[in-house]
């Protein structure tokens, strides 16, 4: 059976959420309140990022040094290798930032197509959202609309994620692997879900 995998990046492929890391290490006071508004879907990703970036005085160099400490799931490379061997496509869909994803993937020599917001440095960081969906209004990178576009002729659409930006795509997938916030959300909403901690759980569960 031909499958297509869509995976979140932060906290799913990486062990820590790089957006969380960025604000906890580099933002001045006030980011928690902004983040709470985003979690409650009272402000969009674009608004949340624009407000939060105003609290960050650091530049690209500080961000780069911080991101160099970020590790990925120990089993992600095996997972990727098995997917490729079996002809399943995989895409990274992130409501985080291209600049950060690119840095982490290059360090691990991973070549996977990814879709994310742009983090631009121009007298402070700015966000740009090339994958905004006007019908959604919430996400910076609207994962559901990208899934629809990218799924091709796959017979099974699988979503892997952990957080608040994964709730929308999770309801559009045939199968969801989730942890943390997303796992609880799926249980509450009655979305069929399989819990995972590392990509090894997914490899085993699917018999890849």
162 binds, among Mg ion, Zn ion, none (CB under 5 to 8 A by kind): Mg ion
Is residue 136 a contact point for Zn ion (CB under 5 A)? yes
| Residue 89 binds Mg ion (CB under 5 A) | no
Which option in Mg ion, Zn ion, none does residue 139 bind, with CB closer than 5 to 8 A by kind? Answer: Zn ion
**Binding status of residue 90 toward Zn ion by CB under 5 A:** no
Of positions 4, 5, 7, 10, contacts Mg ion by CB under 5 A: 10
22 near Zn ion (CB under 5 A): no
SS3 sequence, 33-56? Answer: HHHHHHHCCCCCHHHHHHHHHCCE
Instruction: Tell me if 194 contacts Zn ion by CB under 5 A.
Output: no
User: In the complex, what is the shortest distance from the CB of residue 7 to Zn ion, in angstroms, rounded to a whole number?
Assistant: 17
143 contact partners, CB below 8 Å, separation of at least 6: 6, 8, 93, 95, 165, 166, 168, 169
Cβ distance to Zn ion smaller for residue 52 or 145: 145
Compare residues 63 and 129 and give the one whose CB is closer to Zn ion. Answer: 129
Rounded to an integer, what is the distance from CA 8 to the centroid of its chain?
A: 3
> Which residues ranging from 41 to 80 are in contact with Mg ion (CB under 5 A)?
none
How far apart CA 11 and CA 4 sit, in angstroms, is: 20
Give the shortest CB-139-to-Mg ion separation in angstroms: 12
**CB-CB contact of 43 with 128 (8 Å):** no
Residues between 129 and 188 that touch Mg ion (CB under 5 A) = 162-163
Pick the closest to residue 124 from 46, 63, 59, 67 (CA basis).
59
175 scored as a contact of Zn ion (CB under 5 A): no
Residue 11 sits in the site that holds Mg ion (CB under 5 A): yes
DSSP letter for each residue of 117-179: EEEEESSSEEEE-TT--TTT-S-SS-HHHHHHHH-TT-SEEEEEE-SGGGHHHHTTSSEEEE-
Is residue 6 within 8 A of residue 88, CB to CB? The reply is no
Instruction: Establish if 116 lies at the interface with Zn ion (CB under 5 A).
Output: no
Stretches 19-27, 62-70, 97-105, 129-137: which one binds Zn ion (CB under 5 A)? Answer: 129-137
Contacts with Mg ion, residue ranges (CB under 5 A):
8, 10-11, 162-163
């Amino acid at each position: 059976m031909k499958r297509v995998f869509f995976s979140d990046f932060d906290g799913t492929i990486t062990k820590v959420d790089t957006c969380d890391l960025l604000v906890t290490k580099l933002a001045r006071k006030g980011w928690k309140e902004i983040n709470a508004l985003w979690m409650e879907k009272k402000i969009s990703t674009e608004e949340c990022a624009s407000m939060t970036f105003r609290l960050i005085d650091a530049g690209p160099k500080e961000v780069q040094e911080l991101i160099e400490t970020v590790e990925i799931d120990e089993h992600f490379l095996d997972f990727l290798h098995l997917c490729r061997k079996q002809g399943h496509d995989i895409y990274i869909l992130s409501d985080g930032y291209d600049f950060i994803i690119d840095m982490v993937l290059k360090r691990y020599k991973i070549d996977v197509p990814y879709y994310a917001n742009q983090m631009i440095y121009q007298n402070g960081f700015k966000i740009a959202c090339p994958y905004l969906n006007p019908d959604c209004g919430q996400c910076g990178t609207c994962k559901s609309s990208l899934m629809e576009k990218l799924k091709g002729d796959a017979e099974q659409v699988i979503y892997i994620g952990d957080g608040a930006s994964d709730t929308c795509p999770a309801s559009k997938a045939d199968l969801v692997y989730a942890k943390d916030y997303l796992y609880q959300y799926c249980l509450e909403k009655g979305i069929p879900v399989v819990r995972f901690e590392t990509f090894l759980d997914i490899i085993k569960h699917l018999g890849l």
